[in-house]
A and B are shown apart, each in its own frame.
Chain A
Amino acid sequence: MAKRIDVKDLNVYYSKFLAVEDISINIEPKSVTAFIGPSGCGKSTFLRTLNRMHEVIPGGRVEGEVLLDGDDLYGPGVDPVTVRSQIGMVFQRPNPFPTMSIKDNVLAGVKLNGKKISRSDADSLVEKSLRGANLWNEVKDRLDKPGSGLSGGQQQRLCIARTIAVKPDVILMDEPCSALDPISTLAIEDLINELKSEFTVVIVTHNMQQAARVSDRTAFFNIAGTGKPGKLIEYNETAAIFSNPEQKATEDYVSGRFG
């Protein structure tokens, strides 16, 4: 059910401050798209506009269109809650719910919404999601233990399991590996490769090799200076961005000659 995302002329504001300016980008279904760029250029800000998480921040607002398979997320009468149940998000820091067991964390999207689910359906959903997040074998014996008792990498995979359990069309990930060790990072990168067969994945990363390893297409964002808005500089096949970029700024950034 992976869906495509088309962004047209998007401006993103924090109250009066224009953080991201004039972005247009087309994200293919069942692909992995990486956002790279220097700190503060608005990658997280832009990513959060793709599932209307941006407006959770006081003063957060956007101008322009974000189309999910042709339907505008910001159209009149669109409920942000519906949007978020179709476009899931994994955060930089693993954030399992501390009051819930591993199992309840996976079922959070169902249970918090007050939906009824039979015990056998719940068990199979938990197993399927945890297998999907490559975590099943590590936690299958302690599903009733608190999620906060897992290692950082396991917690992050638990958060991914929680996200795929609500069966979204798109998964957004904001630096999902930045708090993890290299081995957990590899586990998550493998996972992203597998998720691609079912979901559209968008990932923000500061790790150039990671972008090169996991993504099909890469978008490079940049900022002219502090207080200026971030912009999309170049968007292309990942191989082209890293070996043969069109823009000088992109080349400087990916070759490490930047800032």
Chain B
Amino acid sequence: MSVMTANTQAAQPTPPSRKRNSLSKGKLPRWAVPATAAGAIIVGAAFSTLTGFSVATFAIYSAVLFVIAGTVLTSVVEGRRQGRNAMWTYLIYGAFLLALIPLASVLYTVLEKGLPGMNSHFLFSSMNGVTGAVDNQSVADGAPVIGGAYHALLGTLMITLWATLISVPVGMLTAVYLVEYGKNGVLAKAITFFVDVMTGIPSIVAGLFAAAFFGLLLGPNARMGIVAAVALSVLMIPTVVRSTEEMLKIVPNELREASYALGVRRWRTILKVVIPTAISGIASGVTLAIARVIGETAPILVTAGIASSINTNVFANWMSTLPTFIYYQILTPTSPTNIDPSVQRAWAAALLLILMVMALNLGARLIASLFAPKKGR
């Protein structure tokens, strides 16, 4: 290796010269942009202090100064086209940073307020038997908060699992029909239309639908986990259909034809060639659909009610999920006189929920790369 490099270097007719490349004439030197930024920050700080210092005005003044100075400098040295390029580059980066602010601040707030309440007691005990008196006592003693979200965590897992079990087969079969069989037929067009309509259904309406539907079947007050799962699958199915449809559509037709030409039937071709080729995209689409419904609150309240003890049976009795747990802890604190324990539990549950959604998103990427058709030798 090193011999090779030495040889190639020796073979170079002229060694690379250190003088400034004439092709880079009329360009700003590398340090110009950081220097402008530093200048903008200093002047921005000065302006901001004049009008009574605050972080917001400081950031705004510096950013505006930087964009103006950078643009003018580039225009003067490198020409108008480069100047405009610089301006738009800075503006786009600025928009990106602006978009990051809410995300970062949400994460920060949830971590700050949720971490104190996040411990194994919170994770593995329910609210069973935790009353206002218990909270008052622990506040008075300065003792750790009693009671946690174990029942809500289990409820979230069970209800989401059942919602997935319902919506994945329905959604995938619908997508297979649309792409492989329906083509542009009347039925396929109608289904596409209704899937589009379903995408826009407000989640509370989905909840009311499921509650009313089971109410008709089982009588009023038929509230249990499975009803909530049905409500969530009404919300999930259109997402699953859409993402599966897109994935099936990008499977090249040549693969289907290759399979037909080997004398393979249509349904086997779909099952063994088309779906395996698209499975990574389908799986990550499903995971994202789960992430979308896992935080739903309203449809759970009207279908599964609220519970403070552990219930792992989705076919009987009320159930809590993390979002409804948060909602109830904030809206009706366990102890109306000492709301701090409830607030702490709510934030810890919020942190847990965010972690779950993040895990799902990471899981989607993992699944996509695991199932992706293998490349290379």
Q: Are B262 and A162 in contact (CB under 8 A)?
A: yes
| Selected contact of A88 from candidates B261, B265, B272, CB within 8 Å | B261
Query: What are the interface flags for A144-155 relative to B under an 8 Å C-beta threshold, 1 for contact and 0 otherwise?
Result: 011011000000
The answer to whether residues A99 and B254 also contact, given A81-B264, A163-B261, A166-B262 and a CB cut-off of 8 A, is: no
The answer to whether residues A108 and B261 also contact, given A114-B268, A146-B375, A148-B373 and a CB cut-off of 8 A, is: no
CB distance from B177 to the nearest CB of A (A): 16
B92 close to chain A: CB less than 8 A: no
Q: Are B254 and A95 in contact (CB under 8 A)?
A: yes
* Residue in chain B with minimal CB distance to A83: B263
* Residues on B with beta carbons closer than 8 Å to the beta carbon of A85: 262-263
* Residues on A with beta carbons closer than 8 Å to the beta carbon of B375: 146, 148-149
* Residues on B with beta carbons closer than 8 Å to the beta carbon of A58: 183
* Residues on A with beta carbons closer than 8 Å to the beta carbon of B261: 51, 53, 84, 88-89, 91, 163
| Selected contact of B262 from candidates A82, A88, A145, CB within 8 Å | A88
The answer to whether residues A146 and B373 also contact, given A82-B263, A91-B257, A159-B258 and a CB cut-off of 8 A, is: yes
B276 close to chain A: CB less than 8 A: yes
| Selected contact of A163 from candidates B262, B265, B268, B276, CB within 8 Å | B262
A179 CA to B255 CA, complexed, in Å: 17
Among the interface residues A86, A98, A162, which one has the most CB atoms of the partner chain B within 10 A? A98
A89 CA to B261 CA, complexed, in Å: 6
Q: Are B269 and A112 in contact (CB under 8 A)?
A: yes
* Residue in chain A with minimal CB distance to B376: A149
A38 close to chain B: CB less than 8 A: no
A112 CA to B260 CA, complexed, in Å: 10
CB distance from A172 to the nearest CB of B (A): 8
Mark out the residues of chain B between 245 and 300 whose CB falls within 8 Å of any chain A CB in the assembled complex: 252, 254-265, 268-269, 272-273, 276-277
A224 close to chain B: CB less than 8 A: no
Mark out the residues of chain B between 227 and 255 whose CB falls within 8 Å of any chain A CB in the assembled complex: 252, 254-255
B377 close to chain A: CB less than 8 A: yes
The answer to whether residues A97 and B255 also contact, given A84-B262, A109-B262 and a CB cut-off of 8 A, is: yes
B20 close to chain A: CB less than 8 A: no
A86 CA to B374 CA, complexed, in Å: 31
Query: What are the interface flags for A68-103 relative to B under an 8 Å C-beta threshold, 1 for contact and 0 otherwise?
Result: 000000000000011011101101010101110000
A142 close to chain B: CB less than 8 A: yes
* Residues on B with beta carbons closer than 8 Å to the beta carbon of A108: 259, 262, 264
* Residues on B with beta carbons closer than 8 Å to the beta carbon of A84: 260-263
A contact set with B: CB distance below 8 Å? 51, 53, 56, 58, 81-82, 84-86, 88-89, 91, 93, 95, 97-99, 108-109, 111-114, 142, 145-146, 148-149, 159, 162-163, 166
| Selected contact of A112 from candidates B254, B272, B277, CB within 8 Å | B272
* Residue in chain A with minimal CB distance to B269: A112
Among the interface residues A84, A112, A166, which one has the most CB atoms of the partner chain B within 10 A? A112
CB distance from A99 to the nearest CB of B (A): 5
CB distance from A141 to the nearest CB of B (A): 11
Report, as a range, how many residues of chain B touch the other chain.
20 to 34
A113 CA to B265 CA, complexed, in Å: 8
Mark out the residues of chain B between 335 and 377 whose CB falls within 8 Å of any chain A CB in the assembled complex: 373-377
CB distance from A98 to the nearest CB of B (A): 4
* Residue in chain B with minimal CB distance to A166: B262
A244 CA to B144 CA, complexed, in Å: 102
Q: Are A113 and B377 in contact (CB under 8 A)?
A: no
* Residues on A with beta carbons closer than 8 Å to the beta carbon of B257: 53, 56, 91, 95
CB distance from B253 to the nearest CB of A (A): 9
B contact set with A: CB distance below 8 Å? 183, 252, 254-265, 268-269, 272-273, 276-277, 373-377
A99 CA to B293 CA, complexed, in Å: 31
* Residue in chain A with minimal CB distance to B183: A58
* Residues on B with beta carbons closer than 8 Å to the beta carbon of A111: 272
* Residues on B with beta carbons closer than 8 Å to the beta carbon of A86: 263
Q: Are A149 and B377 in contact (CB under 8 A)?
A: yes
A159 CA to B257 CA, complexed, in Å: 12
The answer to whether residues A81 and B254 also contact, given A58-B183, A148-B375, A149-B376 and a CB cut-off of 8 A, is: no
Among the interface residues A51, A82, A108, A163, which one has the most CB atoms of the partner chain B within 10 A? A108
* Residues on A with beta carbons closer than 8 Å to the beta carbon of B374: 98-99, 146, 148
* Residue in chain B with minimal CB distance to A172: B261
The answer to whether residues A95 and B260 also contact, given A81-B265, A146-B376 and a CB cut-off of 8 A, is: no
* Residue in chain A with minimal CB distance to B276: A99
CB distance from B365 to the nearest CB of A (A): 19
The answer to whether residues A112 and B262 also contact, given A146-B376, A148-B373 and a CB cut-off of 8 A, is: yes
* Residues on B with beta carbons closer than 8 Å to the beta carbon of A97: 255, 258-259, 273, 277
Q: Are A109 and B264 in contact (CB under 8 A)?
A: yes
A91 CA to B273 CA, complexed, in Å: 17
A166 CA to B258 CA, complexed, in Å: 13
* Residues on B with beta carbons closer than 8 Å to the beta carbon of A53: 257, 260-261
Among the interface residues A84, A99, A109, which one has the most CB atoms of the partner chain B within 10 A? A99
* Residues on B with beta carbons closer than 8 Å to the beta carbon of A88: 261-262
| Selected contact of B377 from candidates A98, A145, A159, A166, CB within 8 Å | A145
A232 CA to B272 CA, complexed, in Å: 39
